[in-house]
Copies of this chain bind each other. A is one copy, B any other.
Amino acid sequence: MAELSLPDLDPISDRAVFRQIADHLRDAIERGKLHQGDKVPSETQLMQHYGVARMTIRNALQVLQSEGLTVAEHGRGVFVRSHPPVRRLASDRFARRHREQGKAAFIAETEGAGGKPSVDSIKITEENASPDVAERLKLTTEDCVIVRSRRYLINGRPVEIATSYIPAEIARGTQIAQPDSGPGGIYRRLEEMGFQLDHYMEEIRSRMPLRDEARALKLAPGVPVFHLIRTAYTTEGRAVEVCDTVMSSDAYVLSYELPAR
């Protein structure tokens, strides 16, 4: 244990022993006695210090892990989670002027911030619209949509999985239905096709990841995701794309400007 001094258990308290232990460790982290990346005392050390069974220690460590404060590394130890740099998304990120250089938003931004962007798992299909997508695009579930799904990575770390839905009537046979949607991305293609984009609506939820999402984003336990659904509207008010994206919450800060009018 050496460096880190932990209090003893309070024999009076009716707070469960494993919670008391979790409290001590959480305190040490919040007070900065344990820093990002520091190793938490091993299970054996904690057992000896508190004089309790291993399961009790493991329960305590489990609490911290599900709070997103620590990560366990098999064979190495338990460490205070270190937070990787975040990507800040501004509310003008899809403004036209950012499309002109011929790069899709993600690529341009990531390079601008000195990171190495990549995209993989690109899959394109044509399907019937789901009820939710149909409603957002003002279609019926009889109508077909082009479905573009892909995963975004920064410096090899997956940060976002996204699925776009575009009415097949618009996109079928165009470059939008190709894996490489070309310079400027699909918003640029839509504008070339005469769909003048006016604004987007974004809906944001936060929740714990599903199993597949946790795997695709290589999420540590205790890391929630943003679930963002964006709909793109033309100047005529027509919805031409729905983009459903799931983002690692510790890779992003979203930022928006609101009118006070």
CB within 8 Å of B: which A197-243 residues: 197-211, 221-226, 230, 232
The stretch of A36-44, A62-70, A112-120 in contact with B is A62-70
When distances are taken between beta carbons in the complex, the residues of chain B under 8 Å from A208 are 66-68, 222-224
Shortest A260–chain B CB gap in Å is: 4
* Contact across chains for A201 and B255 when beta carbons are under 8 A apart: yes
Residue A257 CB within 8 A of the other chain: yes
- Are B67's CB and A260's CB within 8 A? no
Inter-subunit contact A256/B256 (CB<8 Å): yes
Which of B68, B96, B222 is the one whose CB lies under 8 Å from A261? B96
Given the interface pairs A26-B211, A66-B221, A224-B249, the reply to whether A257 lies near B200 with Cβ below 8 Å is yes
The docked-state distance in angstroms from the alpha carbon of A91 to that of B254 is 14
A224 touches which of B62, B201, B206 (Cβ 8 Å): B206
A142 at the interface (CB under 8 A from B): no
On whether the beta carbons of B211 and A260 are closer than 8 Å, the reply is no
Contact of A255 among B68, B204, B253 (CB under 8 A): B204
Within 8 A of B (CB), among A83-107: 91-97
Asked if A259 is at the interface of the complex by the 8 Å CB criterion, the answer is: yes
- Residues in B neighbouring A199, C-beta threshold 8 A: 257-260
User: Among the listed B67, B187, B221, B256, which residue makes an inter-chain contact with A91, where contact means beta carbons less than 8 Å apart?
Assistant: B256
A201 lies within 8 A of B257 (CB): yes
Q: Is A250 an interface residue (CB 8 A)?
A: yes
Minimum distance in angstroms from A64 CB to a CB of chain B: 10
Check B68 against A258 for contact (C-beta < 8 Å): no
Q: Could you list which residues of chain A lie within 8 angstroms of chain B, going by C-beta atoms?
A: 23, 26, 55, 62, 66-68, 91-97, 187, 197-211, 221-226, 230, 232, 249-250, 252-261
